[in-house]
Structure 1
Amino acid sequence: MLLIDDAHWADQETLRWLAAFAERLDDLSVLVVVARRPGEVSGDSARHLDAVAAAGRTVSSLRALTPDAAAGLTRATLGRHADDAFCREVWAVTAGNPYETVELLAKVQDSELQPVEGRAGELRALNRAARGGGLVDRLKGLGLEATQFAWAAAILGTGITVDMVARLATMDEAVARHCAGLLCTARILTEAAPVAGTEREEGELEFVHPLIATAVYNSIPSGVCTAMHGVAAQIITELGRGASQAARHLLKVHPDGDEELVEQLREAARDHLAVGAPDAARICLERALHEPPLPDVHAHVLYELGCATLLTAPAVTIEHLQHALGLPGLDGRRRVDAVVRLSQALLHNDQLEEAVRTIEAEAARHEPGPVKLRLHAVQFMWEGIHGETVSPARSRSLADLARTCTGRDNAERALLILRGFDAMTHGESADEVLELCDRALVNGRLAPGLGWTDQEWGMELLMMLGSAYAYADRLDRAESLFAEALRAYTTAGWRGGHLSLANAFLGLAYRRQGRLRDAESTLREALVLAERVGRRLPLYWSATCGLVDTLLARGRVEEAWSIAEQYGFAPPYPSTIVLPDIRCVRGRLLLAVGRTAEGIHELEAAEKTAASRGGHNPVLSPWSVDLAKAVADQDPARAARLASDARRQAERFGTDTAIGEALRCAAALETGGRAVQLAAQAVTYLEASPCQYEHAAARVEHGIAARSVAELGRGLDLARACGAEGLAAQAREVLETGRGLR
């Protein structure tokens, strides 16, 4: 259980995290209860809190105390003899605010004010002393030393101890303890209650209420406040509490070219990233730039800032990294890392050609060796992702290079993955694809340095690995990889493009398995996250395309069309490859809504792309199957050629799914006994396939062709299990009609 009170006072990073966390609660066994004050905040804070509210439901809206409730509280505190008029004035003065009522009654007790009608007029003055300017005046009345103690406590905010306050306020510890007593008696500070599972020290103090802490903090003169934050950072550092705790104070210090402060903020940023707080890291690094850093450090800070914003804001990352590479200071491996990161950001900002040119230019600066090999691998990776310019010549060059690789280091493993992905997209032997991919693993797992959050190679390489497995019928391994990505990015706090793509590719694995309900929910999550990064970017297309494909498989054609219209699922397409194939999905959608000519045009465009690449995977890009069915009535000869080509390509690739799908297409173009025979063969192959939706469709089609009640029943059961509502409805309709069935 997670209980959050006064959420309206939380910082931006916390609220952004909370909004993202609330969206994933369907997958977690945790109850989150959030209390907020409406109308207290605006801008991004209000937007994040509204997102939290939209993810849950309102349990209760607290109201102000009624006059009777205020009277009951007054008498419970001051005694049953309190006058009705006095009680009524307590309610009128506080407007029924529970906090103000409690504080006012405490002041009445402290001042020994009699709760009678004749003294009711004094309540307003007492109430003013409990908050805002009145609270500050009351604090000053406790003396200069007590005021300084309260200021120091407000600067510290949390983890307030008498010895730390004494050091910060430069006062004797005995005096500090006396001041702490005065402030506790005055109900400004109180001893913090112990919290299980925390490192809260015994004797820690806290403010009685956040409003009091805010009022005290705001009363500190500006120059004094800044100076005290600087001293607080120094004290926290000396106590060994970590750079991230000190950074909260360093952010308040005026820029002054302090080299040590820059290093502290960089260390704090690294700490924040290590615990999954990239937004906090970004703030530290942006503040470090304002110091500013020394010339030989400036480029490093910009590079680290680019890493912190990589797939949250690709355009901003590009700006930081280009600036860093234009400054002196980035040398050796750090420069190569920056170039790779820059090219990655360009890729995800749909500037793929510039990404390739950036890598080419850097590779030209290096002699043959590990660095140049890494850059060549990255270049092959970006070219392999390019949606239009993948050529047979490139594939041959990659195959020649990968043939020399044994998988002895990560550069060779990367080339094996790239070759496996390339072979998969071109529909080469699935056995060879799997052999290449397996050689890139170490004991069936990702090699050290090739993890999802490792920075040297990036996530795209592993997405290619998982995709190769997904379309070569190793869906167990694909799901495992993508689920691992989701866990890694969630744990690391990477809530931008990384998490969106992890959801999108996990949704792809679910879709291929036939787990259509899981695929839909995961892809919807991917789309929500992708929208935050930016519409029309490659990761946005991945989520949209996958969701449309899944909705079509579920038989929800109108909803698929609505999603396509809402999210702009139409040309112009991005320059990167989108999985599943974007033209095939768009063509299938157009055919499903009756826009046949447009659908055929999209599928023919996919055919031209496949021809330019020198081949295609008939499962990844099933244009030949869909196009054959679309033109069967108008041009049966062309349909037969397309079906024959699909069968030949499927047998070349060699998976049960590919051959089964080609047989389904051939059966759809035949009639009579030949159709039944081909449909039965399709069932045989797809029963051995891990793709259960396709298996269900083959069962239903075979049942219809063979007029078999048993086969239709099995198909219906499979369709229901997959969540394929349209397919299940088709099977039910035939079974209920019953004409000619046996």
Structure 2
Amino acid sequence: MCEGLVVAVRRLARLNWPLVLLVDDAQWADLETLQWLAAFTQRLDDLPVVAVVAHRPGEATDPGTDLLERVGAAARPSTTLRPLTPDATAGLTRASLGAHADAPFCREVWAVTGGNPYETVELLAKVQDSGLSPIEPAAQELRALNNSARGHGLVTRLEALGTDATRFAWAAAVLGAGISLDLAATLAGMGPEEARRCADRLQAARILRPAAGGPGGADELEFVHSLIASAVYRSIPVATRTAMHGQAAWAVTQSGLGAAAAARHLLEVHPDDDPDLVEQMRQAAREHLAVGAPDAARRCLERALREPPLPEVHARVLYELGCATLLTSPATTIGHLRNALGIPGLEDDVRVDAVCRLSQALVHNGQLEEAVAAVDAEADRLEPGPARLRLQAVHYMWEGIHAAEEDSPGRSRSLAALAGPLTGRDNSERALLILRAFDAMTRGENAEEVVELCDRVLVNGRLAPGLGWTDTEWGFELLVMLGSSYTFTDRLDRAETLFNEALLAYESAGWNGAHLALAHAFVGYVHRRRGRLADAEAYLREGLRLADGVGSGLPMHWDAACMLMDTLLARGRPEAAQEIAERYDFAPPYPATIVLPDAHSVRGRLLLATGRATEGLGELEAAQKAAAARGRHNTVMAPWAGDLARALAGHDPARAAALAADARAQAERFGTDTAVGEALRCTAALAHGQRRTTLYARAAAYLEASPCAYEHALARVEYGIAARSAAELCRGLALARACGADGLVARAEEVLGNGRGLR
């Protein structure tokens, strides 16, 4: 929800501008509002918007303080406001009371209020109401008037309005926001007419006023100032205040506003072994999750745990709390789900789901081996059936993305035997087919067979019911494998459709955090493969921004950073790619999960591009060893062989030729136009004379048939240089410009500018 509101306001800001956003007394804002404000102010660089935020230090709650610090970190500039000067106070006094206000009187106004703007305005209003003359003899009465505007003086003034008015003000302070006349009357225990009289008295006393633009019109109230609201709230005896929050929760529920609206009051009620409160908080959490507010859901469930729940419900509350934090805090999720699984109370299906979610959180937190162990331990205690089959599929899924797997060929044979006869009649079979397709893709097996396996998973070209991006039974990692299999087999049309569906599904459901971050990353990488490099960079940077909100050094950071580095290198911006590598510590040791595209290959290419040839060769050699050990020979996903062959050509041509020949054999086995075209381009770079020109021509022809426009542009420029053809160079230049490949554009323009030897 927060992310959606940020996007919505950003769009509005581009339609109606320039805009100024003024927020005063931000320390009193609720956490959801502060969360939005922090997210919005961190994304103002490209908007014609000025945001001015003022707050009192030290008066916000702990989470609120953290959010205000995020707002402050984005501020340019930041300043500490000073009290009004004596001259400014005098100007305000004369503007309010008249030019005849004398200097001693104005000076006393400043001395009494200390230059506090709120107190100054309130004091001057009281001077007007009392009919006091703004001259020196009357100045001695200012201190007593000022005391009635704040703290104990305000409370005394409130009590002077009568018991009924005080009770109504207490009810309004407990309700806090959205103070409707009816709700306040119910909470204060009075009828409508009596409530209206109390509201009128409080408005006359400048304690309440009609809410600006409130949905209830004249029946919607608010405090004149947050300091008044705070003083009234603190004046309520603690026991009475707690009891009133309980009554407010009941009144809000009875009014039909729902459990989520009542939850803010239940959060203030003391724990009392109340099963009904636990159920209300669980229902409130479900309502918050349904509209994409997981932090609010988390607070409700944490409060339910403090009640505490009945023993037979305790495990379910922990499980629900783990589900609420899964999107935003993998480490917290692990603790809750382990606690839930450690006590009785989870039925078989829910227990299996908890284990699968626990394993997912462990993977997101970089604990892949523990994820596999948790799944295996639960599978061992189950009899054969759908639940065990689900756990077995999850086991294969985590092993499939395990970069350091010991027996990768053996697992591949086992998975191929298990998936071979499956037709995709249910989601368990479809899951195994996806795993088999992903494994075959990474190993560089025949691409047509990989695509056929992927297509068996779809129902009329779409994801099957229960296997969607927001369905929780299987997790989104499985669908990432499906989309990646299409991506690296030249079926970018289907990959783009899948990942765009993911982005839309997560944004619609309010799934911020890991899911939305990876959706942006994979949409961006499909753009990279298509040659839309500028769009790719934008999506990938957004994916990293979202990932930063979840934690640091997580597997999602490795994928998004690797994809962005690959994109920046394609754009001809190695320095920008190096900056990303440094920001995210993109260097060995690599995570336990597979990084897409291959981390060794991308970092090796980066090192070569930034002039660190020896380090680059070492990284590419490491890629070769890893590929040989694990049997992963997809030359598009892991293009180390081409870069290594080119780097070795000058001092070890025999090995370079052997690497290029092996890469070409692997590419032809895989069979996509991209793989074969790239292999031919590498072979051409090592050749001489007419054979070089012929190979480049063949590479360009293959890549023209592929969906990868950048690789086609690269081959076309290299063919134009080899053939000394101005026409081919111009064609390659146009393609490079369309892709946003600035480095390739500069290279082609330089050759065309020299013009020597071109035909």
Q: Is it true that 1:115 corresponds to 2:131 in the alignment?
A: no
Once the two structures are superposed, residues 447-479 of structure 1 have per-residue CA deviations (whole angstroms, 9 ceiling, x without a partner) of 222222221111111111111121122223323
Q: CA deviation at 1:429?
A: 2.1
- Once the two structures are TM-superposed, the CA of residue 120 in structure 1 deviates from its matched residue by 3.1
Aligned to 1:380: 396
Q: 1:478–1:157: structure 2 CA closer, same or farther, 3 Å change rule?
A: same
Q: What does residue range 364-403 of structure 1 map to in structure 2 within 5 Å? A: 364-389=380-405, 391-403=408-420
Q: How many residues align?
A: 738
Q: 1:124 to 1:512 in 2, by over 3 A?
A: farther
**Counterpart in the other structure of 1:325:** 341
The correspondence for 1:314, drawn from 330, 335, 340, is 330
Tell me the residue number matched to 1:35: 53
Residue 479 of structure 2 aligns with an amino acid whose one-letter code is: L
Please, which of 147, 151, 159 is the counterpart of residue 170 of structure 2?
151
Q: Which amino acid in the other structure matches residue 361 of structure 2?
A: A
Q: Paired residue for 2:745?
A: 728
**Equivalent of 1:484, from 501, 523, 541?**
501
Give the match for residue 193 of structure 1: 212
* Structure 1 partner of 2:547: 530
- Structure 1, unmatched stretches of 5+, are none
Change (3 A) 1:458 1:17: farther
2:253 maps to 1:234:
no
Match of 1:205, SS state, is strand
- Distance in 2 (CA, whole Å) between partners of 1:321 and 1:174 is 52
Q: Contact 1:20/1:495 (CA < 8 Å) preserved in 2? A: no
Q: Contact conserved, 1:536 with 1:574, CA < 8 A, in 2?
A: no
Amino acid at match of 2:199: A
Check whether the contact 1:588–1:626 (CA below 8 A) recurs between aligned residues. Answer: yes
CA 1:133/1:445 → structure 2, altered by over 3 Å: closer, same or farther? farther
Cα–Cα, structure 1 residues 165 and 91, in superposed 2: closer, same or farther, change >3 Å? same
Structure 1 residues 277-326: Cα deviation after superposition (integer angstroms, max 9, x where no partner): 10111111111111111111110011111111114222221111111111
- CA deviations on 1:642-685 (whole Å, 9 max, x unpaired) are 11121122122222211111111011111221111111111112
Residue of structure 1 in register with 2:355 after alignment = 339
* CA drift at 1:638: 1.5
**Change over 3 Å in CA distance of 1:41–1:658 after alignment to 2:** farther
- Tell me if structure 2 keeps the 8 A contact 1:311–1:348: no
Cα 1:53–1:695 shift into 2, 3 Å: farther
Name 1:11's counterpart in structure 2. Answer: 30
Match of 1:404 in 2: 421
| Aligned: 1:353 with 2:382 | no
Q: What is the 5 A alignment of 1:462-473? A: 462-473=479-490
Distance in structure 2 (CA, Å) of the matches to 1:554 and 1:640: 28
1:553 aligns with 2:570: yes
Contact 1:707–1:740 (Cα < 8 Å) also in 2: yes
Query: How far is the alpha carbon of 1:17 from its aligned partner?
Result: 3.6
Compared CA separation, residues 55 and 514, structure 1 to 2 (3 A) = farther
Report the TM-score when normalising by structure 1: 0.93
What SS class does the counterpart of residue 303 from structure 2 fall into? helix
Change (3 A) 1:594 1:623: same
Within-5 A mapping of 1:42-191: 45-49=64-68, 51-52=70-71, 74-75=93-94, 77-79=96-98, 81-83=100-102, 85-87=104-106, 89-90=108-109, 93-94=112-113, 97-191=116-210
Question: What corresponds to 2:278 in structure 1?
Answer: 262
Match of 1:252 in 2: 268
Partners of 1:41 and 1:221 lie apart in 2 by 20
2:592 alignment partner, one of 542, 556, 575: 575
Question: 1:725: how far off?
Answer: 2.2
Q: Which amino acid aligns with 2:30?
A: D
Task: Provide the C-alpha distance between the structure 1 equivalents of 2:103 and 2:357, rounded to a whole number of angstroms.
Answer: 72
From 607, 617, 628, the equivalent of 2:634 is: 617
Whether the 8 Å CA contact 2:246–2:269 is kept in 1: the answer is: yes
Distance change (3 Å), C-alpha of 1:375 and 1:4:
farther
Provide closer, same or farther for how the CA distance between residues 93 and 685 of structure 1 changes in structure 2, counting only shifts above 3 A.
Answer: farther
In the alignment, which of 673, 693, 700 is matched to residue 676 of structure 1?
A: 693
For 2:655, the equivalent position in structure 1 comes to 638
Which residue of structure 2 aligns with residue 279 of structure 1?
295
Deviation at 1:40, TM superposition (A): 6.1
Shift of 1:36: 2.9
From 306, 312, 324, give the equivalent of 1:290: 306
- Cα deviation, 1:211-237, whole Å, max 9, x if unaligned, reads 211121122121111111111111112
In the alignment, the residues of structure 2 paired with residue 41 and residue 720 of structure 1 have an alpha-carbon distance, to the nearest angstrom, of: 54
Matched, 1:541 2:555: no
Deviates more, 1:209-218 or 1:147-156: 209-218
Q: 1:441 to 1:93 in 2, by over 3 A?
A: farther
Could you tell which deviates more after superposition, 641-650 or 523-532?
523-532
Inter-partner Cα distance in structure 2 for 1:671 and 1:13: 65
SS at match of 1:564: helix
Q: Are the structure 2 counterparts of residues 125 and 517 from structure 1 closer, same or farther at C-alpha, using a change threshold of 3 Å?
A: farther
Instruction: Assess if the C-alpha contact under 8 Å between 2:210 and 2:217 holds in 1.
Output: no
TM value normalised by structure 2: 0.91
What do residues 162-199 of structure 1 show as CA deviations (whole Å, max 9, x unaligned)?
3322322223444333221211110101122334xxx5
Measured at CA, do residues 523 and 169 of structure 1 come closer, stay the same or move farther in structure 2, by a change above 3 Å? same
The residue identity in structure 1 corresponding to 2:755 is G
**Contact 2:557 2:584 (8 Å CA) reproduced:** no
Partner Cα separation in structure 2 for residue 335 and residue 121 of structure 1: 73
Contact 1:78 1:109 in 2 (8 A): yes
Which position in structure 2 is the counterpart of 1:600? 617
Q: Which residue of 1 aligns with 2:602?
A: 585
CA RMSD between the two structures: 2.7
How many angstroms apart in 2 are the aligned matches of 1:473 and 1:344? 29
In the alignment, the residues of structure 1 paired with residue 548 and residue 684 of structure 2 have an alpha-carbon distance, to the nearest angstrom, of 41
Distance of aligned partners of 1:52 and 1:451 in 2 relative to their CA distance in 1, 3 Å threshold: farther
User: Secondary structure, in 3 states, of the residue corresponding to 1:184?
Assistant: helix
Task: Decide whether aligned partners of structure 1 residues 220 and 618 sit closer, same or farther in structure 2, where only a CA change above 3 A counts.
Answer: same
Structure 2 Cα separation of the partners of residues 463 and 132 of structure 1: 58
Alpha-carbon offset, residue 152 of structure 1 = 0.9
Judged with a 3 Å threshold, the aligned counterparts in structure 2 of structure 1 residues 608 and 168 are, in CA distance, closer, same or farther, namely same
Over 3 Å counting, the alpha-carbon distance change for 1:532 and 1:107 in structure 2 is: same
Equivalent residues of 1:534, 1:540 under 8 A apart: no
Match of 1:662 in 2: 679
Q: Distance in 1 between matches of 2:152 and 2:703?
A: 76
Query: Structure 1 pair 479/10, CA: closer, same or farther in 2 (3 Å)?
Result: farther
Q: Note the C-alpha offset of 1:517.
A: 2.3
Q: CA deviation at 1:533?
A: 3.0
How far apart are the structure 1 equivalents of 2:506 and 2:89? 50
Describe the superposition over 1:573-627 as per-residue Cα deviations: whole angstroms up to 9, x where unpaired: 1111011111111211222233333322222222222223334211001121122
TM-aligned CA deviation for residue 92 of structure 1: 5.6
1:503–1:522 contact (8 Å) kept in structure 2: yes
Matched, 1:220 2:236: yes
Q: List per-residue Cα deviations over 1:62-89 (Å, max 9, x = no partner).
A: 9876767655654554445544554555
Task: Please tell me whether the aligned partners of residues 211 and 217 of structure 2 are also in contact (alpha carbons under 8 angstroms).
Answer: no
Deviations 1:506-530 (A, max 9, x none): 2222221222222223323333333
Quote how far apart the aligned CAs of 1:57 are: 6.3
**Aligned partners of 2:85 and 2:115 also within 8 Å:** yes
